[in-house]
Structure 1
Amino acid sequence: MAHGDITHIDIPVSDPARATEFYGAVFGWQIAEMPGFEGYPMWQAPNTISGGGLAPRSDDFTTPRSYVEVDSIEETLATVRKLGGRVVTEKSEISPTSWWAAFEDVDGNQIGLYEGTTGAG
């Protein structure tokens, strides 16, 4: 994936088992929990490219959130702040080689950010 590509979509859910059954039946998605991500079932569309997660619903997370891959979360969040956006979640580790964050744009839409590396460096 390249800078600016949409890489992941989270859907807020209150009951992961119910949502897994629902989205699996409606769209034919393959949905399963991955080791280390219990309570966060991940889905993959039949095209095997599109995917995301069924994330716990919270007061701050009530609508689906798309994640955009960026070269640097820090630089992107600095630009968001400069242009009047609001950071919702600072850079957080997913794994030793990948991170995420979230912000609200100037219209209140939440967008997620993803930064990852492939290998040492």
Structure 2
Amino acid sequence: MPHGDITHIDIPVADHAAATSFYGDLFGWQIAEIPGFEGYPMWQAPNKISGGGLAPRGEGFTQPRSYVEVDSIDDVLAQATERGARVTMEKSPISETSWFAVFEDPDGNAIGLYEGVTETSGNG
């Protein structure tokens, strides 16, 4: 995906089984746990482009969070902080070839960043 595309959306949930049933039935999403990501079922929309996860709801994570594909998380975090953003989660590994980070924009919105290899299935 090109720099700036929305690549992933996390939806905070308290009950994975109930959320899997709700979103699967409501939107026809395919939802399954991926080996290595137990407790974090991944969803994919029928268009095979949009995808995300059903993340555990917790302190500081109560609203859906979109992740934007970027060429360099380090560069984008530096630019965002120069423009008044606050980093709330530093760059962290997902795998050997992918990373994520989160910042809060000047209006208080949490925005996730993703850098790395995005699968063509849309589950980034």
**What's the TM-score, normalizing by structure 2?**
0.92
Q: Which runs of 5+ in 2 are unaligned?
A: 119-124
CA distance in 1, matches of 2:14, 2:103: 22
Q: Which runs of 5+ in 1 are unaligned?
A: none
Please tell me the root mean square deviation across aligned C-alpha atoms, in Å: 1.0
CA distance in 2, matches of 1:18, 1:40: 13
Moved over 2 A (4+): none
CA distance in 2, matches of 1:88, 1:20: 28
**What's the TM-score, normalizing by structure 1?**
0.95
Could you say which residue in structure 2 is the equivalent of 1:96? 96
Could you say which residue in structure 2 is the equivalent of 1:42? 42
Aligned residue-pair number: 118
Could you say which residue in structure 2 is the equivalent of 1:68? 68
Q: Secondary structure at the match of 1:55?
A: strand
Could you say which residue in structure 1 is the equivalent of 2:122? none
Could you say which residue in structure 2 is the equivalent of 1:114? 114
* CA displacement at 1:117 relative to structure 2: 3.9
Deviations 1:10-54 (A, max 9, x none): 000011111001100110000000000000000000111110000
